[in-house]
């Protein structure tokens, strides 16, 4: 049986109802929590990423382009949404200082036991920044993997950017479900 993973991208308070929150992000919380529980029950290993910045965020390159403090380590905004945290249970969490986690493919490879084509599914925030970045890193590392993104459990900065990111991922042979 193939090893299967669900990657939960940045379901943190600041992206849901905090400094960078949106109605679209708030709307996916319960469906995402339900999907996390369903995939756990199906035997998927769940890994969650955490966008993680320091107090010096505004002086970073990202902070210059997006001058809104968010996900400052230890802050309420950095914390996982409570409903998502409950669904994750004891899932591995991985802090990342930028859009995509360069460590994520190695962790998946190690936990997949050398399988070059595991099943990898993603959900989370924001579709057009961190979800697409992590999906592309995983696609590059696992070109033969069954790589899927749950569109209804993702939200972008805007609905238009969400759709554009989904189309970009489709173009790169990532299944949008």
| pLDDT at residue 1 greater than cutoff 70 | no
The domain containing residue 134 runs over which residues?
Answer: 4-176
> Residue 115, class by beta-carbon neighbours within 10 Å (0-12 exposed, 13-18 middle, 19+ buried)?
middle
| pLDDT at residue 21 greater than cutoff 70 | yes
Give the mean pLDDT of 130-153: 98
pLDDT digits (tens, 9 = 90+) for 84-131: 999 999 999 999 999 999 999 999 999 999 899 999 999 999 999 999
- The pLDDT of residue 40: 97
Number of domains in the chain: 1
> Model pTM?
0.97
The residues, ordered by sequence, that sit 6+ positions from 71 with a Cβ below 8 Å of its Cβ are 10, 12, 14, 15, 50, 51, 52, 53, 77, 78
Count how many residues are written for the chain. Answer: 177
pLDDT digits (tens, 9 = 90+) for 147-176: 999 999 999 999 999 999 999 999 999 999
Give the mean pLDDT of 136-145: 97
> Residue 9, class by beta-carbon neighbours within 10 Å (0-12 exposed, 13-18 middle, 19+ buried)?
buried
CATH number for position 112: 3.40.50.850
């Amino acid at each position: 049986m193939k090893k299967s993973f669900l990657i939960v991208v940045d379901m943190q308070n600041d992206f849901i109802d905090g400094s960078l929150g949106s109605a679209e992000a708030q709307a996916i919380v319960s469906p995402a929590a339900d999907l996390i529980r369903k995939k756990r029950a199906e035997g998927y290993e769940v890994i969650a990423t955490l966008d993680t910045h320091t107090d010096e965020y505004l002086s970073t390159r990202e902070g210059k382009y997006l001058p809104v403090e968010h996900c400052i380590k230890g802050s309420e905004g950095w914390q996982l949404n409570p409903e998502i945290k409950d669904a994750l249970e004891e899932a591995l969490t991985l802090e990342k200082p930028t859009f995509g986690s360069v460590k994520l493919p190695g962790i998946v490879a190690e936990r997949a036991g050398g399988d070059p084509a595991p099943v990898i599914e993603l959900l989370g925030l924001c579709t057009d920044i961190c979800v697409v970045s992590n999906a592309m890193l995983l696609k590059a590392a696992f070109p033969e993997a069954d790589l899927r993104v749950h569109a209804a459990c993702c939200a972008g900065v805007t609905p238009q950017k969400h759709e554009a990111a989904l189309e970009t991922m489709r173009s790169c042979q990532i299944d949008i479900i």
